């Protein structure tokens, strides 16, 4: 991973691959912390988290940085693998790769490609729906009078009936306006919590989606198993005093983080009501 297929400087390539990889590890931790609310919190808190992640300027900037990092990390890794194979088109007569390196380290490009496919499908099923689907539901509750109401960002409520009879209308997918005055009276929450639960609990494809998600987390675990420690070595953190600690932390990270991600759809599909 020392020579770049995108950057001319091998040294720049070495650092950027490591830095983007470690940045994406930080992203995984933050994303996991938010997603665990699907298990340990309620719909309102999760939708508040989703709103914050899609509207806060700093978070949005970090999101763009994440997209760029994913693309750079994936595309450059694939091109580099192709470049390395072209540099040695004829395999050695006596080759025993398993004796010299771990399976994950020899298949990082394959693992990375599978993860990229998962990311794309994941974004189509959730991110794209939240941002572009005109049928994206707004969060609702049933009040003390058994009347369904939309939940507003300011803590208030608007009865569904107001929209049904034309007393209020919804514009820009989330904004509520008084039909008589034309004034904005509130803004609702996109119900990402609802579409997530409906996706994994769907009677037709929910189980398949859950299984594929878990498999994707196994792939991520293998990718991190080698990639985490390798990133530190690329940055020059290769000291006998710390190598064991870095490798140990990396292996722990590569198991716990994907495992916790995998637990979420399993809980939703099999245990959540």
Check residue 252 and give its pLDDT.
96
Residue-wise pLDDT tens digits, 161-190: 999 999 999 999 999 999 999 999 999 999
User: Are 210 and 200 contacting, i.e. CB atoms less than 8 angstroms apart?
Assistant: yes
Check residue 75 and give its pLDDT.
73
- Residue, of 110 and 206, whose pLDDT is higher: 206
pTM over 0.95: no
**Across the strands, what pairs with 175?**
171, 187
Is the C-alpha dihedral spanning 94, 95, 99, 100 positive or negative?
Answer: positive
Is the C-alpha dihedral spanning 30, 33, 38, 41 positive or negative?
Answer: negative
Judged by average pLDDT, the poorest of 2-6, 28-32, 138-142 is 2-6
Both tokens assigned to 13? 């390539």
Cα 197 from Cα 214, distance rounded (Å) = 16
**Exposure b/e, 192-206, CB count within 10 A at least 16 = b:** bbbbbbebbbeeeeb
Cα 162 from Cα 140, distance rounded (Å) = 13
Query: Is the pLDDT at 1 greater than 50, yes or no?
Result: no
Check residue 216 and give its pLDDT.
97
Cα 156 from Cα 153, distance rounded (Å) = 7
- Residue, of 27 and 72, whose pLDDT is higher: 27
Query: Is the pLDDT at 4 greater than 80, yes or no?
Result: no
Residue-wise pLDDT tens digits, 120-151: 999 999 999 999 999 999 999 999 889 999 99
pLDDT averaged over the chain? 87
* 34: confidence class by pLDDT, cuts 50, 70, 90: very high
Check residue 8 and give its pLDDT.
55
What percentage of the chain exceeds 90 in pLDDT?
A: 63
């Amino acid at each position: 991973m020392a020579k770049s297929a995108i950057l001319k400087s091998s040294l720049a390539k070495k650092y950027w691959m490591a830095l983007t990889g470690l940045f994406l590890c930080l992203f995984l931790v933050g994303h996991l912390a938010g997603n665990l609310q699907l298990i340990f919190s309620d719909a309102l808190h999760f939708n508040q988290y989703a709103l914050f992640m899609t509207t806060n300027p700093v978070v949005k900037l970090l999101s763009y940085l994440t997209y760029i990092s994913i693309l750079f990390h994936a595309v450059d890794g694939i091109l580099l693998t192709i470049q390395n194979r072209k540099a040695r088109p004829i395999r050695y007569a006596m080759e025993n790769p398993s004796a010299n390196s771990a399976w994950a380290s020899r298949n990082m490009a394959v693992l990375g490609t599978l993860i990229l496919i998962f990311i794309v499908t994941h974004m189509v099923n959730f991110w794209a729906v939240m941002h572009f689907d005109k049928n994206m539901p707004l969060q609702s509750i049933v009040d003390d009078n058994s009347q369904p109401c939309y939940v507003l960002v300011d803590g208030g409520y608007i009865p569904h009936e107001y929209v049904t009879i034309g007393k209020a209308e919804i514009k820009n997918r989330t904004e509520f306006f008084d039909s008589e005055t034309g004034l904005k009276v509130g803004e609702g929450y996109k119900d990402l919590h609802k579409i997530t639960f409906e996706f994994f609990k769907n009677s037709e494809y929910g189980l398949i989606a859950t299984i594929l998600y878990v498999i994707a987390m196994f792939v991520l675990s293998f990718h991190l198993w080698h990639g985490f420690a390798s990133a530190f070595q690329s940055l020059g953190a290769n000291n006998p005093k710390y190598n064991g600690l870095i490798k140990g932390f990396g292996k722990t990270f590569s198991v716990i983080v994907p495992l916790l991600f995998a637990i979420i759809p399993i809980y939703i599909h099999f245990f959540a009501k």
